[in-house]
Structure 1
Amino acid sequence: MITIGITGIIGSGKTTATSMLKNRGFEIIDLDRLSKDLIMKEEVVAEIRGQFGDEYVSGKTVDVARLRDKVFKNSEALRALEAIMHPRVRDALRKRLEELEGAGEEIVFVDGPLLFETGLYKKLDRIVVVTAETGTIKERLKDRGMTEEDINQRIPHQIPLKEKERMADHVVNNNGTRDGLEKEVEKLLQRIKEWEVRADAP
């Protein structure tokens, strides 16, 4: 089984590219969804309450929006949250990959915005970065209703896109239309065939 991480900064089009892969029948592990499931577990809620205080927990669930706002403005708080979440995400990912390999999957994509930042890329066979020009990314984010302040808070917490491109095994360029991105995804699938041949070589 080949495991392929797919990543990119917010607004790059990673989610759209991943949906195209899913529509082609590929198995996708969504780390954001996995994290959202984990953060609602009782033991995690208790740990977050202990670390951040009662104001970040509503009833038996974490006030995710309030917590997100805090960690994007406070690097120490971000590190504290990462210490709680990242080991659990790594463990859940490992278990899911084992399940899929046992089920006979040949290619599995792992969709996550912070594969490099968390070190999870080291656990995967290949890494694909979805990229776009900075101006294009900012326009997309503004179209989503984000302010310039919101954008400037979110992006600095991620490794610069050019650095991610340098570390990637393949880059998907998403500066144009949806049709253009479809063509880029087809190029990626051709590249994956090359990786499979190399993996099968004696």
Structure 2
Amino acid sequence: MIVLGLTGSIGMGKSATAEMFADAGVPVHDSDETVHRLYSGKAVPLVEAAFPGTTQAGVVDRVKLAAKVLADPAALKKLEAIVHPLVRADADAFLARHREAGAPLAVLDIPLLFETGGRNRVDKVVVVTAAPDIQRARVLARPGMSEEKFASILAKQVPDAEKRRQADFVIDTGHGFEAARMAVAAMIAELAGDKPGTPRS
């Protein structure tokens, strides 16, 4: 089974691209969705122990938690030390299930793949990109987003150009999502060995 790492900076269209893989029948593990699930499950007692008062009725209160960690790098590292191993264990179980089921390809949707050293967990990397003006317009249209917050998020991410340089595949969502969908289909075919001139097993 080929494990494909899907990543991209904020506002590049990564989530929409992940849906395209899923629509094509490829198993996709979504790190963000996993965190949401963990915040009402396994992570709750661990987060409460580390950050008292940030959970309520068996669920992590993301607003209260953000208030404690976003402006405190040490606290953020403490939270990451709790959450990242849980997400990775969930992803490993996901891969094991689909490997056992005989899936030829599986996708790990990892927003901070390069930033967290996730490159060694996957066979190939696809980076989702778009022109800077498109990215900015998408991000600033989000509720509660500001220029300052956007700049702060970008500062914590590996630059788009560097991600593209390290990628095995690049999908540009700036040409429209139908073009991106066609690129996803072509990539799946290539990874399946179904490209012109390649013998099929």
Please indicate the TM-score interval, normalised by the length of the shorter structure: 0.7 to 0.9
Note the C-alpha offset of 1:69. 4.8
The answer for the alignment partner of 1:50 in structure 2 is 49
2:189 and 2:94 map into 1 onto residues whose CA distance is 26
Aligned to 1:130, which of 128, 131, 137?
A: 128
Query: Aligned ranges for residues 1-202 of structure 1 at < 5 Å?
Result: 1-42=1-42, 44-54=43-53, 56-145=54-143, 146-194=145-193
Measured against aligned partners, the alpha-carbon deviations of 1:14-51 in whole angstroms (never above 9, x if no partner) come to: 11111111111111111111122123225x22222222
Letter in 2 for 1:159: V
- Residues in 1 aligned to 2:99 and 2:188: alpha-carbon distance in whole angstroms: 20
- Unpaired segments of 5 or more residues in structure 2? none
How big is the shift at 1:190?
A: 4.1
- Give 3-state SS (helix, strand or coil) of 2:28's partner: strand
Ranges of 4+ aligned residues in structure 1 off by more than 3 Å: 68-72, 193-196
- Letter of the 1:61 counterpart: V
Q: Match of 2:175, SS?
A: coil
Q: Between Structure 1 and Structure 2, which shows a larger proportion of helix residues?
A: 1
Aligned mates of 1:72, 1:177 — CA distance in 2: 33
Aligned-pair distance for 1:70? 4.2
Change (3 A) 1:75 1:149: same
Contact 2:115 2:157 in 1 (8 A): yes
Contact 1:72 1:154 in 2 (8 A): no
| Structure 2 length-normalised TM | 0.87
Question: CA contact under 8 A between 1:6 and 1:111: conserved in structure 2?
Answer: yes
Instruction: Tell which deviates more after alignment, 184-193 or 19-28.
Output: 184-193
Any conservation in 2 of the 1:10–1:155 contact (CA below 8 Å)? Answer: yes
Aligned-CA RMSD value: 2.3
For 1:66 and 1:148, the matched residues in 2 are separated by 23
With structure 1 as the length reference, what TM-score do the two structures score?
Answer: 0.86
1:71 and 1:192, CA in 2 relative to 1: closer, same or farther beyond 3 A? farther
Q: 1:71 to 1:155 in 2, by over 3 A?
A: farther
